Chain A
């Protein structure tokens, strides 16, 4: 059975199905455990992609991504502790509803709206990716450089409090991406005389060192033998049709916002969850019930954070630019298999791309079915103290790093990065900025050098081409938005530092 020239039944191979189930299972589990997050789930599975086909690899990581976005709500609702940053908004109404009615009812709203959000994100991915990639065929190196630059600026300036440290993190990520042999001349750059670094830093070492190990070390800081408890009321996640209809509007708002936000670099699922919570509250007939166990307050953010998965793949597949930090790690899986996403991928890897587009729908359905069965099991896993979990998570991350290339250098690199990042996180440096920059850096460099060779070293090439000019305006707009944001925060800080000034300006 073919659709758009793609054999749909070819998606249902044993490897793909197993990848989807395992990815969803690991994603649900890791997402449910407080403090680990979506990135950890994807990073943990990244080494496994070395031995898998490109399609199975991407489906595995996407399933983990999708599964963990729902999984985060389990801890939020049952324990009142966000499992992932994106599930913090869910906590406000989720935990309250769990205590008022039952955890199962609240989880039912979360699972159903996560599925609907995920399906919507998948449909957006299918409908938008192809037209955008057709447009992208008209663009060349100068535009590619500007698109990468926009992505990095958006992440560096829009998503963090400390913009200077975030920009420094971006530059460090770009520098890390230049390490190893220069693609165009073969010259080794900053390899420290270590032959294992001639291919550059292993992406698995880098992301595990940036995210996974520091996160585990933070778990130690939160207390090893904390006993968690929850009301073990009814855990059945079934909803009636009337209950589903009652949250349709909020789910729709969440899904639409999530897909849009996911496609724009720098924002991510947590921003999508909060935007949609606020929008759903404004659009609700009973906004005063938000924060008091209103199912709409669960449906909107959960639909949003799952819709960002599909949304984040739109720029990734069509332009080669990841929309979120998690998508940048999925880009890493493409790189491991020597595939470059972007406009050419539709011509060169037709089956892979359509496999991903339709696979996203399959992943969401699998997440829903698996979620129905394992949610009550995972709530029991939440009671396992960190003293048991941490040693196993540590050894899994070390094995994951080593098994990618069998190199101890990768382990040492990851250890150094993780210790440094553990400290830098306390100083508001941004790990997501570093990883996106690391992944985009080589693409940016090649497109910059080629553009400048074409223009004999003149930067005017970025301002004089038809397709470059709108991108330059977007760069300027992001810069202005960030300056306005900085100015507003400074004004607030001055007002709150001088108490009289605040009431004088209000009157």
Chain B
């Protein structure tokens, strides 16, 4: 991916977020009447929003002058898979509960995919499952029995 393109995209998205922040904070602050001269809840956020616009514009100019390079994210598909699995795990945990069971599944899938070797899939899946169960038992002992934290 081109670093210039990535920088432009990031800075423009930050600018959009800044505008959304500015609008939201000023909308909320109109709920109270503090008088036109007072230093109200929108004062500091407005200052930050203006400074951020200036910095982003300087950043865009700086990016335009820089030489383009390639940003390389090695093993991008594996990283994407990991993030997707984490999202599914959180969705499933929040919807159904059963943390420890889901944890065993989550760890087993990750360990199996990370250690995948053709021809050894059964062995790898079995050892992954075993390790996941041991890890989950350890987590149960620490969080549930020692720290009394419900997961």
Q: Taking beta carbons and an 8 Å cutoff, which residues of A are in contact with B?
A: 48, 51, 164-165, 167-168, 171-172, 174-175, 178, 182, 184-185, 187-190, 192, 217, 220-225, 386-388, 390-392, 394-395, 398-399, 402-403, 406, 408, 411-412, 415, 419, 422-424, 426-427, 429, 444-445, 448-449, 452-453, 456-457
Find out whether the CB atom of B25 lies under 8 angstroms from the CB atom of A426: no
Cβ–Cβ < 8 Å partners of A456 in chain B: 37
| A220: chain B residues within 8 A (beta carbon) | 75, 78-79, 82
Q: Which residue of B lies closest to A411 (CB)?
A: B90
Q: Are A402 and B39 touching (Cβ within 8 A)? A: no
Q: Which residues of the partner chain A approach B28 to less than 8 Å between Cβ atoms?
A: 187-190
Provide 25 A-B residue pairs closer than 8 Å at the C-beta atoms, listed in order of the A residue.
A168-B55, A171-B52, A171-B55, A172-B14, A187-B31, A187-B32, A189-B25, A190-B25, A217-B82, A220-B79, A225-B114, A386-B114, A390-B82, A392-B135, A403-B149, A408-B93, A411-B90, A415-B86, A415-B90, A422-B79, A426-B73, A427-B3, A427-B71, A444-B44, A449-B43
A51→B21 CA distance, assembly (Å): 34
* A457 and B37 form a contact (CB under 8 A): yes
In the bound complex, what is the Cα–Cα distance between A392 and B73 (angstroms)? 23
B66-103 contact mask (Cβ, 8 Å, vs A): 1 or 0:
00000101111011001100110110011000000001
The CA-CA distance from A412 to B88 in the complex, in Å, is: 11
CB distance from B11 to the nearest CB of A (A): 8
B98-132 interface bits toward A, Cβ cutoff 8 Å, 1 = contact, 0 = none: 00000100110011001100000000000000011
Q: How large is the interface on B (under 10, 10 to 19, 20 to 34, 35 or more residues)?
A: 35 or more
Given A189-B24, A415-B87, A224 and B114 contact (CB-CB distance below 8 Å): yes
Encoded as 1 (CB less than 8 Å from any A CB) or 0, chain B from 131 to 151 comes to 110010001000100011111
- Please measure, in the bound complex, the distance between the C-alpha atom of A341 and the C-alpha atom of B98, giving whole angstroms: 40
**Besides A390-B110, A427-B7, 16 new A-B residue pairs in contact (Cβ under 8 A), listed by A number:** A51-B147, A164-B58, A168-B56, A171-B48, A175-B52, A190-B25, A222-B74, A223-B75, A224-B75, A225-B115, A390-B82, A394-B86, A398-B90, A403-B143, A415-B87, A426-B6
Given that A402-B151, A403-B143, A415-B87 are known contacts, is A221 also in contact with B45, CB under 8 Å in the complex? no
What residues on A are CB-neighbors of B62 within 8 Å? Answer: 164
Nearest Cβ in chain B — how far from A16, in angstroms?
17
**Is the beta-carbon distance between A178 and B3 smaller than 8 angstroms?**
no
B74 touches A445 (CB 8 A): no
| B16-56 interface (Cβ within 8 A of A) | 18, 21, 24-25, 28-29, 31-32, 34, 37-45, 48-49, 51-52, 55-56
What does DSSP make chain B's interface, helix, strand, loop or mixed? helix
**Using a Cβ cutoff of 8 Å, how many contacts connect chains A and B?**
158
Task: For A51, give the chain B residue with the smallest CB separation.
Answer: B147
Q: Is the CB of B114 within 8 A of A390?
A: yes
Structural contact, B111 and A387, CB atoms closer than 8 A: yes
Beta-carbon contact of A178 and B44 below 8 Å: yes
Whether A168 pairs with B90 at a CB distance below 8 angstroms is no
Contacts of A386 in B (CB 8 A): 114
Residue of B nearest to A193 (CB): B24
Instruction: Report Cα–Cα, A165/B40, bound state, in Å.
Output: 29
Nearest Cβ on chain A to B61's Cβ, whole angstroms: 9
Is there an interface contact between A403 and B151, defined as CB atoms closer than 8 Å? yes
| Cβ 8 A contact of B59, one of A164, A424, A444 | A164
Q: B103 to chain A: which residues have CB within 8 Å?
A: 395
Question: Which of B34, B39, B43, B51 is A171 in contact with, Cβ under 8 Å?
Answer: B51
A403→B93 CA distance, assembly (Å): 14
* Contact of B64 with A by CB under 8 A: no
